[in-house]
Each structure stands twice: as C-alpha cells, then as structure tokens.
C-alpha cells in the first residue's frame, strides 16, 4: 500500500498544470490507485472507460483490485479495435456477447469483427450485423459480410443512404435489400442530393418531411431539389417541426424566396449566427431588415461553440442573452467565453454552472467559479445532484480538490 501511495503522489506531482476537460479516467495505474485512496467509486463503469481508452496499465490494475471486466467493457474494447486488449479480456474470462461483435462492426474494425464472428453464428437478427458495418463505413468489411450471406433490410438501407451513393449501390447490387421512406429521410439529413435523386429514379417513396429534415440540418440545396422535383411542401408539418428553430442562411433564403417570411417570423424561426463575425453581422442585419430581432439563442449557440468573437459581435449589435450563455460555455469547457460573459454582465445560475463544471470534470472552470465565489455548496445542489457529480467525476485532481473543499 505504501508503494502505491508513493506512486500515486508521484503521479499527482508530475501531472501537468494544463487543466483537463475530459470525462475519461486518469491515465495510469498509479493515478487510479490515488483515486481509490481518495474514495472514488470503483465500478464496472470505470473498467469500461479504461477499455474504451485502450489503457492496459489501468485495466491490469483494476483487475488486480478485483474490479473485473463486464459485457460493456468487452464491447468498449471491441470498439477500440485493440486486439491485444481483447485477448487479455478473453484470457481473464471476461463475459463477451454479441454486443462486442456489433461494436467492432460499427467502429469499422475488420480484423476485430473477424475474431468475434463466432458470436454471430446462428443469430436470427442478421440485419443488425450488416447495419452496424454500414454505420462504420468499412467497405471491405461490408463486402466480406455480404459474401458470408449476412443480409440487410430497410433499416440497413437507411444508414447506407446517410453515408453515400456508393454504399447504397453496394447494398442493392450484392444484397438487394429493400428500402422505405427512411432512406430518403437519412439522405436529406446528410445533405446527399445524389442519393435522393437515385432513390427517386428507382421508385423509392419520398415524404414531404424531407423539407423539415433538410432545414434542421442546414441543407438548402436539398430543399431546392425537392421543390424542383415537385415534392409537396407540407406547411403544417414543416412549421410544427421548425417552430422556434435556428436555421442556416441558405435555408432562410429558400423560405423567403418561397414567400414564407411572415410565417417564419410568426413561428419564431431565426437565423444562426454563423461561425465568423461577418456571418454574424449578416444574420443580425438580415433579421433586423425583416423586422424581427435576433434570438437570444444565437448568443447561446456561439457560447457553446466557444466562438468568443461571434459572441462579442452579437452583443455589439445588441442581441439579447440569458443565463444559458454561461451554462453552455461551462458545459463545453470554454473558460475564455465564460470569463468574458460574466465580466460583461451576462446573467447566470450558480447552481447550473457548478453542476456543469463538476459533471464535466472541468478543474479550470471549477476553480474559476470558486475564486469568483459562484461555486454552489453541496447542500444547494442536493443529494441527487451530488450523486450525479460523484458518478461522473473521475479525474484525480478534481476529486482531491472536491474533498479538500467539503464536497464529500
């Protein structure tokens, strides 16, 4: 135990000063030992994270302290594609089921799937395996599966349509699997006009919902294609789905050209601020000219994306903001945005900021909130809140800090 403590202290002392934004576990057996000594819960969830990261040192240590791998751990190892790790788990007699093969296929790991193929023998859910491979996008794996008579269905084709026209053709030529309206929906969501055209030419039914699907994803070209092909625009369905949404400039252009400006404003649909200051100014100017103020959600979006310059531009143009700006910045580890927003008077919720900082294991934001006397005490977060924090907090530095500051 003494040597473990010494190793743990050495690992902590050597830890770089750059703050961590990650939900991953710590990166050495010594650091895991430190977490255990500090009272961190040792659960299968920890083992799963180690397998996902492919860290053999951590996995061996967890096995040594009687934290064995479980089914999700094996699936994580398969998803990682680490054959050495998978062999170690099998040697440890870890439980492995079909989810490992599915995870390997979905991640596109050909060799890993071949090693786990025995798990699929006699399974009646044939489409699940091919569907997982299509999600992974490994063409060699898909061809190998088709040669072994794995078969697809309309659900498989839906994922293929969201990938590429080449994937759709591959399934049709080698498997002749069917399709339904989900395929064009997936193509519209991905913005694949060529896939949509192919599906229509081959008799696949296309639902008017592709207008709203494309609008949500910012694919104005898909909406234009649908109009040119004579696909009906279901106004009731469209505005019910897009009510209060933030949409891209191309989508707004299409709606205006089709005479839907008044309806768009009535339903609170507004333009996204974009990713540059120029795009933000254009969006605000366009909305002002249309007679509608830019939504406060534009500021929240900029904060979540960590785009401080866009946020500054929006505020200089008098776009409103609320406490979700600060919370969004904290959740996505954008300390520079959070500092600027609070300094410039953005409203915030101390409890929401604390919960975001702790559950996302962000030491930098936690210390900043504490220095500003914003960090909420455990009694305010409540039992359920602190339970969730304890489940998510795996970094040894933050765990130690919380213990020192009364978050037991």
Task: Let me know if 205 is exposed, middle or buried by CB neighbors in 10 A (0-12, 13-18, 19+).
Answer: exposed
Find the mean pLDDT for residues 250-279: 91
Can you give the pLDDT at residue 367?
A: 87
CATH superfamily for 123-206 is Ankyrin repeat-containing domain (1.25.40.20)
Find the mean pLDDT for residues 244-266: 91
SS3 399: helix
Q: What is the mean pLDDT of the chain?
A: 81
Pick 375 or 396 by higher pLDDT: 375
Q: Of 367, 364, 386, 387, nearest to 377 (Cα)? A: 386
DSSP string, 22-78: -SSPPSSHHHHHHHHHTT----HHHHHHHHHHT-HHHHHHHHHTT----HHHHHHHH
d(CA 29, CA 56): 9
Find the mean pLDDT for residues 309-315: 97
Asked whether the predicted pLDDT for residue 373 surpasses 80, the reply is: yes
Instruction: Provide the pLDDT confidence category of residue 182 given band limits of 50, 70 and 90.
Output: very high
Pick 351 or 67 by higher pLDDT: 351
Name the E strands within 213-309: 246-247, 270-271
Instruction: Provide the pLDDT confidence category of residue 14 given band limits of 50, 70 and 90.
Output: very low
Instruction: For residue range 131-149, list pLDDT tens digits in order.
Output: 888 988 888 888 888 888 8
Tokens of 358: 């702790």
Instruction: For residue range 18-64, list pLDDT tens digits in order.
Output: 223 233 444 444 555 545 545 555 555 677 777 777 777 777 877 77
d(CA 345, CA 33): 43
Can you give the pLDDT at residue 321?
A: 96
94-103 in b/e form (b: 16+ CB < 10 A) is bebebbbbbb
Can you give the pLDDT at residue 99?
A: 84
Q: State percent of the chain over pLDDT 90.
A: 40
R_g of the chain computed on alpha carbons: 26
Q: Of 196, 195, 188, nearest to 238 (Cα)? A: 188
Q: Are the C-beta atoms of 326 and 298 separated by less than 8 Å?
A: no
Instruction: For residue range 198-252, list pLDDT tens digits in order.
Output: 999 999 999 999 999 999 999 999 999 999 999 999 999 999 999 989 999 999 9
Stretch among 138-152, 249-263, 301-315 having the lowest mean pLDDT = 138-152
Instruction: For residue range 96-125, list pLDDT tens digits in order.
Output: 888 888 888 888 888 888 888 777 665 544
For 252, residues 6+ apart whose C-beta sits below 8 A from its C-beta are 264, 271, 286
First to last CA, the chain: 23
Can you give the pLDDT at residue 211?
A: 97
What residue spans of 81-209 are helical by DSSP H?
83-91, 98-106, 110-116, 126-136, 139-147, 154-163, 165-174, 182-190, 193-201
Alpha-carbon separation of residue 300 from 194, 311, 319, 327, 376 (angstroms): 34, 8, 11, 9, 22
So where are the chain's domains?
A: 1-104, 123-206
Tokens of 4: 């473990």
Find the mean pLDDT for residues 186-208: 95
d(CA 241, CA 400): 46
d(CA 215, CA 236): 14
Which residues are 111's β-sheet partners? none
Can you give the pLDDT at residue 43?
A: 58
- Is the whole model's pTM more than 0.95, yes or no? no
The kind and range of the H/E element at 370 are helix 363-371
Asked whether the predicted pLDDT for residue 4 surpasses 50, the reply is: no
285-292 contact pairs (CB < 8 A, 24+): 286/249, 286/252, 290/261, 290/265, 291/265, 292/265
């Amino acid at each position: 135990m003494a040597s473990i403590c010494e190793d743990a202290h050495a690992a902590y002392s050597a830890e770089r000063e750059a703050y961590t934004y990650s939900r991953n576990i710590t990166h050495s057996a010594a650091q895991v030992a430190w977490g255990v000594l500090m009272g961190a819960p040792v659960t299968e969830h920890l083992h799963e994270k180690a397998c996902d990261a492919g860290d053999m040192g951590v996995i061996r240590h967890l096995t040594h302290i009687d934290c064995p791998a479980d089914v999700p751990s094996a699936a994580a190892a398969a998803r990682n594609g680490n054959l050495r790790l998978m062999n170690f788990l099998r040697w440890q007699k870890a439980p492995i089921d079909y989810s490992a093969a599915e995870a390997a296929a979905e991640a596109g790991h050909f060799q890993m799937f071949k090693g786990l193929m025995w798990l699929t023998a006699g399974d009646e859910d044939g489409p699940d395996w091919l569907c997982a491979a299509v999600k992974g996008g490994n063409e060699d794996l898909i061809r190998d599966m088709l040669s072994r008579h794995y078969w697809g269905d309309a659900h498989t084709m839906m994922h293929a349509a969201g990938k590429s026209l080449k994937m759709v053709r591959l399934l049709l030529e080698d498997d002749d699997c069917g399709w339904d309206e989900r395929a064009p929906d997936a193509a519209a969501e991905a913005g694949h006009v060529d896939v949509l055209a192919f599906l229509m030419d081959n008799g696949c039914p296309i639902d008017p919902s592709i207008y709203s699907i494309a609008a949500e994803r910012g694919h104005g070209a898909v909406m234009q294609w649908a109009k040119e092909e004579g696909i009906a625009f279901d106004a009731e369905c469209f505005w019910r789905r897009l009510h209060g949404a933030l949409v891209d400039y191309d989508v707004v252009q299409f709606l205006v050209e089709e005479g839907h400006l008044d309806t768009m404003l009535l339903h609170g649909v507004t333009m996204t601020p974009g990713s540059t200051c120029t795009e933000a100014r254009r969006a605000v100017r366009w909305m002002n000219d249309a007679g509608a103020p830019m939504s406060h959600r534009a500021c929240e979006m900029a904060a979540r994306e960590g785009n401080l310059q866009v946020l500054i531009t929006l505020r200089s143009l008098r776009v409103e903001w609320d406490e979700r700006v600060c919370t969004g910045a904290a959740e996505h580890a954008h300390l520079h945005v959070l500092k600027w927003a609070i300094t410039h008077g953005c409203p915030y919720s101390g409890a929401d900021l604390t919960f975001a900082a702790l559950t996302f294991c962000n030491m930098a934001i936690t210390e900043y909130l504490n220095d500003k006397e914003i960090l909420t005490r455990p009694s305010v977060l409540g039992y359920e809140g602190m339970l969730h924090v304890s489940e998510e907090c795996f970094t040894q530095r933050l765990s130690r800090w919380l213990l020192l500051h009364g978050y037991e």
